[in-house]
């Protein structure tokens, strides 16, 4: 199946990144979110992202202009009517995603493919909220999408081979590399990465080290490019908590229990970079540890 037009539902950090890379690869993109303001904000983020790529001489100005012209806001699901594939990248909440699929399917061509960028939720379970589980697949991009090379592909129990092949072709066309994961909670990358981040939060919670000590220790002691708390802020603490909850419930093992301090930060609305406060306070322009 030729994928020439893509829909993206959810224009946050992942949805805007996905729209950016697909448009740069020559596909038309319809970008959706819960309000026009959010889509407008995403278009401005994409504009800045493309400008940075021009600065770094990764693309020229003509490519930037062409990519921007290929992205169209689509507040109404009717805008997805002629899409070959729609990728859902809304908040990491199963109910939100199920509601989107139930409503969205009515506006899609019967042969259109549907994918989710979920970090952790069962692909088989999400597929059951659609009218096309055979044409449903997990396409898990990494953050930030334009910079990260890997994409995880996850088949649900009824995903057809044709759908899997189309997803593989798409990833290759985007110049990225895929790995295949079975449909288990949080797949491969987050099954390993998120418990490490959660453990870093426990280390902070128990007073073993400060935010700065923990991040410095892992950057210089384990050669990680970012400290785990800095990374948690980058991912979004709401997403980190949701993934830990999916692991905890899905694998029924107390080793995945979300740290109470993480829960508290999310309850306070401290979600990391996207709200300007998390394990660091970003409001002054220089990140200041909050503990």
d(CA 188, CA 64): 33
Active site residue 190: yes
Q: Which stretch binds ligand NAD (CB under 6 A): 86-94, 129-137, 164-172, 195-203?
A: 86-94
Active site residue 198: no
Rg (the chain; Cα; Å): 19
d(CA 153, CA 179): 6
| Shortest Å distance, C-beta 61 to ligand NAD | 27
DSSP summary character for residue 250: H
Q: Which is nearer to ligand NAD, 96 or 208 (CB)?
A: 96
With beta carbons less than 8 A apart as the criterion, state whether 138 and 246 touch.
no
Residues 213-272 that bind ligand NAD (CB under 6 A): 235-236, 239
Identify the residue among 38, 70, 155, 273 touching ligand NAD (CB under 6 A). Answer: 38
With beta carbons less than 8 A apart as the criterion, state whether 5 and 117 touch.
no
Residues 140-169 that bind ligand NAD (CB under 6 A): 140-143
For residue 57, the Cα-to-chain-centroid distance in whole angstroms is 26
| Shortest Å distance, C-beta 38 to ligand NAD | 5
Binding of residue 119 to ligand NAD (CB under 6 A): yes
Binding-site residue set for NAD(+): 10-15, 33, 92, 97, 119, 143, 274
3-state secondary structure 27-81: CEEEEECCCHHHHHHHHHHHHHHHHHHHHCCCCCHHHHHHHHHHEEECCCHHHHC
Applying CB under 6 A, the site for ligand NAD has a residue count of 28
Q: Which residues of 12-34 are buried (b: 16+ CB within 10 A; e: fewer)?
A: bbbbbbbbbbbbbbebbbbbbbe
Active site residue 140: yes
Residues 3-22 that bind ligand NAD (CB under 6 A): 9-15
Catalytic residues: 119, 140, 152, 190
Judged by the rule CB under 6 A, the positions of this chain that interact with ligand NAD are 9-15, 32-34, 38, 89-92, 96, 100, 117-119, 140-143, 235-236, 239, 274
């Amino acid at each position: 199946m030729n994928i020439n037009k893509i829909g993206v539902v959810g224009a946050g950090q992942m949805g805007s990144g996905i729209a950016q890379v697909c448009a740069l690869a020559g596909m038309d993109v319809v970008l959706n979110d819960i309000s026009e303001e959010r889509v407008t904000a995403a278009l401005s983020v994409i504009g800045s992202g493309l400008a940075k790529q021009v600065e770094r001489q990764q693309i020229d100005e003509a490519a930037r202009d062409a990519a921007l012209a290929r992205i169209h806001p689509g507040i109404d699901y009717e805008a997805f009517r002629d899409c070959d594939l729609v990728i859902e990248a809304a908040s990491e909440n199963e109910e939100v995603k199920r509601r989107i699929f139930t409503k969205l399917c009515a506006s899609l061509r019967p042969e259109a493919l549907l994918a989710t960028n979920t970090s952790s939720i069962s692909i088989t379970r999400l597929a059951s909220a659609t009218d096309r589980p055979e044409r449903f697949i997990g396409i898990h991009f990494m953050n930030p999408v334009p910079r990260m090379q890997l994409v995880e592909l996850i088949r649900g129990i009824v995903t057809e081979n044709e759908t899997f092949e189309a997803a593989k072709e798409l990833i290759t066309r985007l110049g990225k590399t895929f790995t295949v994961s079975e449909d288990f909670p949080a797949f491969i990358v987050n099954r390993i990465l998120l418990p490490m981040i959660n453990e870093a939060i426990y280390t902070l919670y128990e007073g073993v080290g400060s935010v700065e000590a923990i991040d410095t220790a892992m950057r210089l002691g384990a050669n990680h490019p970012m400290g785990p708390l800095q990374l948690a802020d980058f991912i979004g603490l709401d997403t980190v908590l949701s993934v830990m909850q999916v692991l905890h419930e899905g694998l029924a093992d107390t080793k995945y229990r979300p740290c109470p301090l993480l829960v508290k930060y999310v309850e306070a609305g401290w979600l990391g970079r996207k709200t300007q406060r998390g394990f660091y306070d970003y409001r002054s322009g220089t990140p200041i540890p909050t503990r």
